[in-house]
Chains A and B, each alone.
Chain A
């Protein structure tokens, strides 16, 4: 064995010991190339999801039914933008620039959560998104607070503090509609019908079909499996639906003896179709992001020139 190989092996052993002892890995620490790659992919995908997720909700800012709901929705969407920034910053510590992440997104080389490729058809959808989509995201993010990579973990802690308002505002919308007219109740139920399955898909394929998960769990990037997190989400969400008179659109849903739920089959063909670009809004979401980015280019160029002038000025 070469000296280099011995050193590498020693570094790997130190890395694995840290993971074993729940010591966070920090940006300057040695890490296996696959660990870095997995994090770059996972954190940037998470960041893109936060930012693309602003679009379906942004659709309803000008049409929110009251000033109260408009202010709340604006604050929520601003939070999502902030969450994207925390995550981009965490991802950048792995040696890839912000500009590069954005350009991978625009080139279609990076993914975001498939759920944001569904349209928001009416106000009840804003309720369903906050309650279900944010609810699913929280379930995942609470678990990720314990991820082994320091910057990712710290971003998750910050995000989790802000997310519970998001879920409550969504549930409140659904509750108020269920207390309202027959038409409002129908709208709420229709929104649940359309968002339930895409929300369950947010946790990703079944553990048996998730090839990257095993390594990610071994390295403690992910702390719980896709199926375990999905089960947790289902178990807490169904009683919330029942409490306000909503029915989860799953004829095969069964209550197990231990109080957990057994759900029907998820339509994975739909999941993969949407992931691969064939959802109802994929093109629209990406084009909108590219347009907003291009429309803002002159601001960045001007700011960069200004910065250069100030730097030169400072030298005299």
Chain B
């Protein structure tokens, strides 16, 4: 499929923190040739309207993701332990602050 020698850098994933104290959320991706360029491109692409102050950039190839084949059984153990949820428990009528 490739018919070009052009290069546009590596792919980085961008995570934005909307306010101090909030968790970082995936915003999208950018191309860059190094970390600093990735940060600058992320700022220009994803924070033109006060979307956030904190920015993380991570080379996409460094991200380890669950494979599609693993998905079903890998997360399966969490579904059969309903006693991990507070709603599982019976409580006496009238109990407060619980």
Q: Are B6 and A297 in touch, CB under 8 angstroms?
A: yes
- Chain A contact residues, majority secondary structure: helix
> Is A98 within 8 A of B28, CB to CB?
no
Check: B81 CB closer than 8 A to any chain A CB.
no
Output the nearest chain B residue to A293 by Cβ-Cβ distance. B6
Q: Which of B8, B37, B44, B45 contacts A99 (CB 8 A)?
A: B8
B30 adjacent to A307 (CB under 8 Å): no
Q: Across the interface, do A300 and B6 meet the contact criterion of CB distance under 8 Å? A: yes
Residue in A78, A301, A307 whose Cβ sees the most chain B Cβ within 10 Å: A307
Interface residues of A in 275-296 (CB under 8 A from B): 293
Q: A99 contacts which chain B residues (CB < 8 A)?
A: 2, 4, 6-8
**Total residues of chain A contacting the partner, CB 8 A:** 31
* Number of A-B residue pairs with CB-CB distance less than 8 Å in the complex they form: 66
Q: Which of A75, A97, A158, A300 contacts B2 (CB 8 A)?
A: A97
Residues of chain B within 8 A of A162, CB atoms compared: 48-49
> With A100-B1, A303-B9, A306-B34 known to touch, is A82 a contact of B65 (CB < 8 Å)?
no
Interface residues on B, range: 20 to 34
The answer to the question of A5 belonging to the interface, with a C-beta cut-off of 8 Å to chain B, is: no
Among A28, A103, A300, contact of B9 (Cβ-Cβ < 8 Å): A300
A5-45 interface bits toward B, Cβ cutoff 8 Å, 1 = contact, 0 = none: 00000000000000000000000111000000000000000
A202 CB within 8 Å of chain B: no
Asked whether any CB of chain B lies closer than 8 Å to the CB of A85, the reply is yes
Determine how close the nearest CB of chain B comes to the CB of A220; give it in whole angstroms: 21
Establish whether residues A304 and B9, one from each chain, have CB atoms under 8 Å apart when the complex forms.
yes
A103 with B3: in contact, given A89-B28, A300-B8 (CB under 8 Å)?
Answer: yes
Report the nearest A residue to B71, measured CB to CB.
Answer: A28
Q: Given A85-B45, A86-B28: A300 and B7 within 8 A (CB)?
A: yes
Closest to A28 in B: B68
Q: Are B68 and A103 in contact (CB under 8 A)?
A: no
Q: Which residue of B lies closest to A30 (CB)?
A: B68
Whether A304 touches B49, Cβ cut-off 8 Å, given contacts A28-B65, A100-B2, A310-B34, is no
**Residues of A participating in the B interface, judged by any CB pair closer than 8 Å:** 28-30, 75, 78-79, 82, 85-86, 89, 92, 96-100, 102-103, 154-155, 158, 162, 293, 297, 300-301, 303-304, 306-307, 310
